[in-house]
Each structure stands twice: as structure tokens, then as C-alpha cells.
Amino acid sequence: MKKAGRIILFKRAHSFRNGLLPILTFTLLLAPAAFAQGQGRGGGRGPAGPPPPPPVAKAAAPWDPTGYWVALVTEDWRYRMATPPKGDLTGVPVSPAGRAAANAWDPAKDEAAGNQCKAFGVAGLMRMPTRLHITWVDDETLKIETDAGTQTRILHFKPTPGSQGEGGDLQGVSIASWDRSIPVMGPGRGGAPPGASLKVVTTKMKAGYLRKNGVPYSENTVVTEYIDRLEHPNGDSLLVFETEVVDPANLATPFWTSSHFKRQKDAAGWNPTPCAAH
Amino acid sequence: MILNYKKSILAAVIAAAAVCSSHFSFTPAAFAQRANERDQQPTPAPAASAAEAPPVDLTGYWTPPMHEDALERGGGSELGDYAGFALNEAGRLWALSYDPSRVTLRYHQCDAYVAPYQMRATGNFHVWEERDPHFHRLVAVHVWGQTTEGHRVIWMDGRPHPPAWAPHTFRGFSTGKFVGNVLVVETTHMKQGWLRRNGTPQSDQATLVDYFVRHGDHLTNVTVVTDPVFLSEPEVRSNDYYRNIADHRNWLYACDDGEQITGRAPDYVPNYLFGQQPFANEFEKVYKLPLISGKSGAASVYPEFMAKMKTATDAEGLALLKPEPGKTNETSKAANPNPTDGQIHVMPLRNNVYLLVGDGGNVIAQLGEEGALVVNTGAGKMTDKLIDAIRKLAPDSFIQFVANTGFQADYTGGNGKFNLAGRDPSLVGSFFSNQHPEAGNTATLIAHQNTQNYLNDLKYPEEALPTDTFLEERRRKFHNDDSMEMFWEPHSVTDGEAIVVFRRADVIATGDIFNTTAYPVIDLKREGSVQGEINALNDILSRTVYEHEEDGGTIVIPGHGYVCNEHEVLEYRDMMVIIRDRVRDMIKKGATLQQVKAARLTADYDTRYGANSGPWTTDMFVEAVYNSLKNPPAAK
């Protein structure tokens, strides 16, 4: 009896597969067309009406970036908690021009010229020992404030000529998106991967320093950040900024760092302090 | 029905693949896993949700750009630079005592990296997936670090972590699951190692949660280390890697130990006495920082420490180089390595040798065509269950020999019952039978003569006393196709200790000479001594061989605690030498016992082994070390 039952089961499984094959083939044949329709009609929901608008960035957020966060300075400590000696460029892939500029660093000159905030620009700010206060300005705009150097970054999910400004300041123009790692040809049958990182691309910034000791980046730098929120079993939440700095003028290769912050339940320790050049 | 049927096949195949993959793996990382599987047979079917397809492909060749902490990961940080590490007092003092010349010692030369430091180290990484061959479901993610051939196996099939008494490896035992686009990995069962190569320690009690996030050709790994022994709060660090399209083909890390500095005494371990680390301020000097900068533990992690540095005094920094005076000794923060469910648990070790845990000291049974040879008999509270467990392992056999490593109640509590439950046919019909017709009706109990003397003094019943004793060097037997040797370790924790070595199985039972739960109970009344204990630990090390980069190889079963290899014995030996050196230095300077106790010379080990109550406190241990150095027993 057992054997017979097993045979029947195999037959059923076999016929199930036989039945599935044409359906799969049909689906695969139709998939590119459906994808193309989806691209053209905002998701291909059919001819009945216009597709619903995509959710605003705030509503689409896969995780909550807001609140107070404190930097955990456990890496590059000597370059972040202190001002390293002039010419100490260890770890930074500087170009010859970048090295020459770093060796010419003069903090007194920076102070005198009102450039004491050069190490607090967008390419160096997240490396500062600082707390962050992150809030939604509106449905499409995120704000990051730092108490170190009292800087403010504005991340635009839906940039408009009026909202994003012209740049040219230390924090530049930052365009944000929820990055879901979908391949250029679409997600395929497996669908879009779950979760998402916050991707921020910043350009049009004023030149600044990667480190307090004058390691330079130029105004043509592109800073790309992926920001992830990680939950630890002990209840801690971490915000990790994975940062790529590309500066053909001062760097020989892209410069990569990852900076992590721990979520605070309130504003404890928030202590706005002005920039200092050293 | 079809789905159920398919699920059951699927589960079986995945389970089989998982078992095969670990049983045939040669890596040390698989060692703990093999033991776990043997202890928990049958391997549980994987949870369906844990084995779903990964949402992100992490495979390929990855290289760290080393833009962060380049000095630390390249040439190495200065001694004394622990800035940004949340070291507690024990961790800071352990690090300050560390002399990097320690890696020239034979047994340290091939030390591998613990998982968090492996991810931080220089060198390339190779990540690949292990899929079951029939349904292509993800069984494991393998991460291979070029430096030290660091192979991490991240099990994705829902299997549980090994029990507390399972062995530790440098990379530990890891399980993972995808949360959104992030692979979250939990790792336990790591050996002691470094958080930073300048001696910043990570204990064998540490656990790791790490996260892998991929953005195109950029992979980020965030490690969060929780270590109740050496850290006051979790240590968070992050590592970046870029994707390489080609295999660079240099994945091996050949290391065999040898003589790097000849002529050293076997009990020499390079270390600095508290307050005498000559390079303690090197880091701060170079960067013109106050001495507290690299020594302030968790405080140094947070932004407000910048303000603290501006007002710090030299005195504050100097105070951090020694144990805080007047402070109550810390106590062990280590997890209990024993089962607490009132049952005896069996773990196959190698060949025909098994570990039985649950009744005080560890019990070992060697089984075969001849009768069982049992090492130690537990505390006597669960002897019937122990005997039942051995009978289940070998239903057609019997208990023929019992070897006692020492007199301690945790190892001899079941002697009487084991004796009466066994028999020794090798005596029946021999000349003994003429004089003692009852010979062979019970098991034969073997121990050093001094152990028999101690048990006699304690008025153990006759049936619990060793009947076959030896006086010098060793007792040996070829039994169940293996060579069993007992080596006397004079003046170690007592003068009656013996280790038991199974040559072919390559298993050593140490008795009370070595354990993972407490400082050694040096019994001065029974002629124990700190020097004899160090000699005994060195003797164990002289009989061990590691499998790969100081991992695996000879199995060492401590009297109490989890299954070990030579690395744990090595760290224990180092500790004994270092504490001896400190006490001896104070004795030379004329210190009294009270002054030695007040100096808190064990402060860097107390969070691992210390106790302020119970049968063996830190104070009692220090007193034993002090007195055995002041009045050493006569050499034998």
C-alpha cells in the first residue's frame, strides 16, 4: 500500500510539473512585454485609469532615520578625536596634488580667512565626533543637523530647481533616494529585493578637508553615501554611513569610509559647538 | 500532500547535505560544528523560513581598501593605543601587560584571528554559497579571509548553535539570516584572540553580531562584539570591501611554529608587570595627547571625550596603568559551560572516545571490544545516569577501568558505584584469583598513589578507592585499540594529579590541572604549587598538536568546562606564569600577603575566573600562589 501511495504521489507531482511548464513558459514570454508596459504606464495597472502616484519619500521609507544619533568613534580615532600632525595622510589615497596641498595646510590661515569649517564639509562631516539630529522637513526632504560645527545637511528626494539651491556651500546639493538594488533591466521574476538603503549623492560643494589636518577635497568632488539602519538583538539601533568620495583633483582612487552612529532615545549630550580649524 | 511530501524530502536532503558538508570539511571551523552535530543527533530539519533564497548576492572576491585604521591593519598600532575600544579595567590591564614578543613563543606563532579581527585584517576575501544539490536552497555562506586562511562558515539552514560545552574556534560558530537587504550573522564559541593586534583582547566569552550590506561593488561589514569579560559595552566597527572580478589565487597562509628565540625557559611568557609597560605612553606622545587618551575605555568612544582630553592630568593617566586600588575584586562574567537540565549529555570526541557532562567534573568514556575505560566519575549526584549513558553507548560492553585524575570530589564522587557496576575479566583466572577470589568482580580503579592516600584520608568507602596505583612517571595500557597513558604531574594542584592521554584518539583529560571555569585550585595541604601547576600545563602543551593555525587538533578535556584544544591551555598557562611573575616580584620586594592581595594582581583575569564567594575565591588563589612561592615544596 505504501509503495502504491508513493507511486501515486510521484505521478501527481509529475503531472503538476507538466502542468506548470506551459504556465511558466507563457509567463516568461509575457514578462518583457509586461515590464515594458509597466515602464510606460507607471506599473501597467491596466487601461481603467491612471496609475496611482508613487508614495512620497517619507511614506516609502523602509525604516525610520529620524531622531538623535551619536557617533561611535571606534575607527581612525587618532584622525577624528584629535587633529593629527600635518602631513599624516595615512590611509587616504591622495594624489600628488592632494599631498602637496595637505603639506601646505595652515590652520591659522584658515581661521584668518574664515575657513575654519573646511573640515566640517560634506565629505568629512560624518567622520566628526558629533551627534546627529535627523528630521523630515517635509514629505520629500530630510534634514541632518550636527552639533559638531553646527552644520545642516538637506537631502532632497524630489529635487526641484527652487528647493535644492545652487550649491556652493560646504554641504553642497544632496539628492536622496531609497536604493533597492534593482538591476537596470528590472527586478526579474524574483521581484525587488526587500529592504533598502538610503542613497545620497552630493555635488556642487565648496572645497573642504577630509580630515582636520588639511587633507583636501575639491569643489568638483562627488560624495556618494549609502545609509543603513541596523538593529542589534540588544535593542541598539545603528545608523551606518558608507561613504565614497571621488575627487580627481586630490585623490588617486575613491576614498571609502564607513561611519556608525548609535540611536539615542533623546537629545542627551546635544551640544552645538562652532567649527574650529584645528 | 504533494507539498508536504516535497517538504519532507527537502528537509531530509538539506539535513543530509548539512551533515555531509561539515563531516567532510577539513577546516578547524567545522570542528565545533561536527561536535555539535554529534551531540545533537539527529541534525534538526532546517526551518523553512531560514533557508529562503538570499535577496542579495554576496559572493565573489572582495578586497578591503584599508582607508580606515590603515596603520592598525598594516604595520600595527602603538602599544598602549586602545582609544575607541570600550575596554573595562580587566581589558585595559590585560592589554597593558601584553608584550608583543609573546608571538615568538612556539605556541603563539600561528595564532589565527578571531572572527571580528579577521574581517578587519588585511588581505582578500572570497565569499561563496553552499547550496543543497537537489533543490538549490542556501545551506551556508562561506567567507574565506586570506590572512590566516580565516574560514567563516555562516550556516543559513536554521540549525541551532552548539551547546555551552562544545569547543570554541577562532572564527566561532555562525548562523545567519537576511533581514531586508542585510545579512545578519550571530557568532558564538570563539577562542580568545585580539580586537587589535597590539594586545587589545577579546575573550572566549565574546559573541559577535555582524551585518553584511552590499551596494553594487561595495560591500560593508559591520561588527558588533559583546564581551562581558573585557568590554564594558558592545564594540562597533565597520569594514569596507570592493569587488574584484578575478581570483588573485593567493589564498593560503602557511604557518608552522619553530624556534624563533632559543634558550628560553619553558615557563617564560613575555609580559609587563602592572605599571611597567615602557611603551604605555608612546601613542599619546606621538599625537601630543594626554595619557588618558588611549586608556579610557568606553568614554573614549563618544564625542564628549574631546572636552575631557583638554582637562585631563598626567595623574589621571598614570592611574589607568595599574589596577584601581581598594576596589573589590571583580568576579567571573563567563557563561556556565555545563548543562542545567539535570541530564547527562554525551558528545563524541574522536574515534571511540566520548565526553559525558552534567554531573560536576567532566567524564570521559573510551569504548570498544574490551570493557569501557572511564576517566573520572563525576560528583556522585547523577552516577546512575552516567552509568546508564555509557551502557547506552556500548550496550554489549561493561565498565572495566576507571582512571582518576585526582582526588577531588567532583571527579571521584561516583567511584564506588562505578566500581560496583563494573568488572575486570582480565583479573579472573589470573594469579590474583588465587589470593583474592573476588578479584575481577568489580571494575579496576587506577590513580596515582597519592590520590589513593588523599581519598583514604578522607575516609572514602573501600569500594571507592583506587585499587591499581602507580608511584612515578606514568601508568599505561593498550586498551580498545588505543594507547592510554596516565602521566603524574607532581606538585601541580596536588601531588597526586595525573593527566590521561589517549594517543590514537588524540584526546587528553587534564583533571583539575586545567579548567575553563576558575583559577586552579592549588591545594597546598596536598603539596600543590604554582610552579608545579605551570610545569603540568607545559607538559600538556608538549603533548598537543594543532590542526590548523592554532585551532583544532588534539582535544583537551578540562576538569570543568568546555571542550578545548591547546590554545585554551596555552592562555591558561600564560595566565599562571604572568600571575606568578607579579607575585614573585612583590615577594622579592618584601611584600606581605596582605600587600599582595591589596595590589589586585589578578585584576585582568578576575572577570574571567574570579570569585568572591564559594569554595575557591580569588583571595584563596592568590594566597596559594604567594605561599607556594614563599615555601615551595621540595622538587621531585
Residue where a domain stops, chosen among B194, B211, B244: B244
Q: What is the pLDDT of residues B491-534, one digit of tens each?
A: 999 999 999 999 999 999 999 999 999 999 999 999 999 999 99
Average pLDDT over residues B60-87: 94
Average pLDDT over residues B573-600: 98
Same-domain pairing of A48 and A63: no
Same-domain pairing of B365 and B227: no
The structural domain count of chain B equals 2
Same-domain pairing of A24 and A140: no
Residues in chain A with CB shorter than 8 Å from the CB of B237 are 74-75, 260
Distance CA A87, CA A76 (A): 16
Same-domain pairing of B493 and B362: yes
Q: Please judge whether A228 and B293 are an interchain contact, meaning their C-beta atoms are less than 8 angstroms apart.
A: no
Average pLDDT, chain A: 85
Note whether A146 contacts B: Cβ–Cβ < 8 A.
Answer: no
User: What residues make up the domain containing A127?
Assistant: 57-264
Q: Is the pLDDT of residue A198 over 60?
A: yes
Q: Please judge whether B220 and A258 are an interchain contact, meaning their C-beta atoms are less than 8 angstroms apart.
A: yes
Report phi then psi at B36, rounded to 5. Answer: -60, -45
Q: Is the pLDDT of residue A26 over 70?
A: no
Contact B165, B345 (CB under 8 A): yes
Same-domain pairing of A6 and A63: no
The C-alpha of B422 sits at a distance from chain A's nearest C-alpha, in angstroms, of 46
Give SS3 for B311.
Answer: helix
Q: In this predicted structure, what is the pLDDT of residue A31?
A: 42
Contacts with B176 (C-beta within 8 Å, 6 or more apart), sequence order:
B141, B154, B155, B156, B183, B184, B185, B186
Q: Which residue has the cell 588639511?
A: A214
Average pLDDT over residues B165-174: 98
CATH number, residue B388: 3.60.15.10
Q: In this predicted structure, what is the pLDDT of residue B254?
A: 86
Question: Tell me, what's the ipTM?
Answer: 0.88
Q: Please judge whether A76 and B301 are an interchain contact, meaning their C-beta atoms are less than 8 angstroms apart.
A: no
Q: Using CB atoms, which residue from A91, A129, A147 is nearest to B68?
A: A91
Contact A140, A61 (CB under 8 A): no
Angle of helix B2-23 versus helix A2-41 axis, rounded to 10: 90
Q: Which three cell numbers stand for residue A51?
A: 496609475
Same-domain pairing of B409 and B556: yes
Q: Is A93 part of a structural domain of the chain?
A: yes
Q: Please judge whether B181 and A194 are an interchain contact, meaning their C-beta atoms are less than 8 angstroms apart.
A: yes
User: What residues make up the domain containing B217?
Assistant: 2-66+105-244
- Among B46-50, B58-62, B245-249, the range of highest mean pLDDT: B58-62
Q: Is B254 part of a structural domain of the chain?
A: no
Q: In this predicted structure, what is the pLDDT of residue A237?
A: 98
Please give the sequence-ordered ranges of beta strands (E in DSSP) within B468-608, or none if there are none: 468-470, 474-479, 482-488, 498-502, 507-511, 555-558
Same-domain pairing of A240 and A185: yes
Q: Using CB atoms, which residue from A71, A81, A85 is nearest to B83?
A: A81
Whole-structure pTM value: 0.89
Q: Is A272 part of a structural domain of the chain?
A: no
Q: Is B491 part of a structural domain of the chain?
A: yes
The C-alpha of B219 sits at a distance from chain A's nearest C-alpha, in angstroms, of 9
> Which residues, in sequence order, are bridge partners of residue A142?
A136, A155
Q: Please judge whether A81 and B186 are an interchain contact, meaning their C-beta atoms are less than 8 angstroms apart.
A: no
Same-domain pairing of A75 and A173: yes
Distance CA A95, CA B568 (A): 47
Average pLDDT over residues B605-618: 98
- With cut-offs at 50, 70 and 90, classify the pLDDT of residue A187: confident
Let me know if B70 is exposed, middle or buried by CB neighbors in 10 A (0-12, 13-18, 19+): middle
Test mutation, A77, A227, A237, chain B, max B CBs within 10 A: A77
Give SS3 for B410.
Answer: helix
Q: Is A171 part of a structural domain of the chain?
A: yes
Q: Is B444 part of a structural domain of the chain?
A: yes
Same-domain pairing of A96 and A225: yes
Q: Is B268 part of a structural domain of the chain?
A: no
Q: Is B152 part of a structural domain of the chain?
A: yes
Same-domain pairing of B240 and B349: no
Q: Is A129 part of a structural domain of the chain?
A: yes
Same-domain pairing of B352 and B230: no
- With cut-offs at 50, 70 and 90, classify the pLDDT of residue A29: very low
Q: In this predicted structure, what is the pLDDT of residue A162?
A: 66
The structural domain count of chain A equals 2
Q: Please judge whether A81 and B179 are an interchain contact, meaning their C-beta atoms are less than 8 angstroms apart.
A: no
Q: Is A194 part of a structural domain of the chain?
A: yes
Q: Is the pLDDT of residue A127 over 80?
A: yes
Asked which of A176-185, A222-231, A236-245, B291-300 is least confident by mean pLDDT, the reply is: A176-185
Asked which of A49-58, B150-159, B334-343, B374-383 is least confident by mean pLDDT, the reply is: A49-58
Q: In this predicted structure, what is the pLDDT of residue A34?
A: 39
C-alpha separations of B533 from B51, B362, B631 in Å: 49, 19, 15
Q: Is B592 part of a structural domain of the chain?
A: no
Stated length of chain A: 278
Q: In this predicted structure, what is the pLDDT of residue B43?
A: 47
Q: Is B316 part of a structural domain of the chain?
A: no
Same-domain pairing of B12 and B160: yes
Same-domain pairing of A16 and A74: no
Report phi then psi at A259, rounded to 5. Answer: -120, 135
Average pLDDT over residues B545-554: 94
> Which residues, in sequence order, are bridge partners of residue B222?
B211, B238
Q: In this predicted structure, what is the pLDDT of residue B371?
A: 95
Residue where a domain stops, chosen among B210, B244, B278: B244
Q: Please judge whether B238 and A75 are an interchain contact, meaning their C-beta atoms are less than 8 angstroms apart.
A: yes
Same-domain pairing of B367 and B234: no
Same-domain pairing of A235 and A136: yes
Q: Is B407 part of a structural domain of the chain?
A: yes
Q: Is the pLDDT of residue B21 over 50?
A: no
Q: Using CB atoms, which residue from B53, B287, B303 is nearest to A78?
A: B287
The C-alpha of A47 sits at a distance from chain B's nearest C-alpha, in angstroms, of 32
Q: Please judge whether B70 and A130 are an interchain contact, meaning their C-beta atoms are less than 8 angstroms apart.
A: no
Q: Using CB atoms, which residue from B71, B209, B238 is nearest to A258?
A: B238
CB pairs under 8 A between A and B: 166
Q: What is the pLDDT of residues B226-246, one digit of tens each?
A: 999 999 999 999 999 999 999
Same-domain pairing of A26 and A127: no
Same-domain pairing of A103 and A132: yes
Q: Is A269 part of a structural domain of the chain?
A: no
Give which of B507, B567, B493 is closest to B536, Cα–Cα: B493
Q: In this predicted structure, what is the pLDDT of residue A55?
A: 86
Q: How far apart are the first and last CA of chain A?
A: 85
Q: Is A273 part of a structural domain of the chain?
A: no
Test mutation, B77, B287, B288, B289, chain A, max A CBs within 10 A: B287
Q: Is A229 part of a structural domain of the chain?
A: yes
Q: Is the pLDDT of residue B17 over 70?
A: no
Contact B447, B419 (CB under 8 A): no
Q: Respond yes or no on whether the N-terminal peptide bond of residue B42 is cis (omega within 30° of 0).
A: yes
Same-domain pairing of A36 and A147: no
Test mutation, B8, B68, B136, chain A, max A CBs within 10 A: B68
CATH number, residue B198: 2.40.128.20
Stretch (H or E) spanning A146: strand A141-146
Same-domain pairing of A75 and A43: no
Residue B614's CB: how many other CB atoms inside 10 A?
Answer: 9
Residues in chain B with CB shorter than 8 Å from the CB of A130 are 303
Residues in chain A with CB shorter than 8 Å from the CB of B65 are 93, 253, 256
Q: Using CB atoms, which residue from B66, B69, B215 is nearest to A242?
A: B215
Q: What is the pLDDT of residues A1-19, one digit of tens each?
A: 334 333 333 334 344 444 4
Q: In this predicted structure, what is the pLDDT of residue B370?
A: 94
The C-alpha of A48 sits at a distance from chain B's nearest C-alpha, in angstroms, of 33
The C-alpha of B70 sits at a distance from chain A's nearest C-alpha, in angstroms, of 5
Q: In this predicted structure, what is the pLDDT of residue A45?
A: 43
Nearest-10 Cα torsion for B503, B505, B509, B510: 60
Q: Please judge whether B218 and A244 are an interchain contact, meaning their C-beta atoms are less than 8 angstroms apart.
A: yes
Residues in chain B with CB shorter than 8 Å from the CB of A197 are 181, 213, 215
Distance CA B27, CA B25 (A): 6
Share of chain B above pLDDT 70, in %: 92
Test mutation, B9, B119, B215, B284, chain A, max A CBs within 10 A: B215
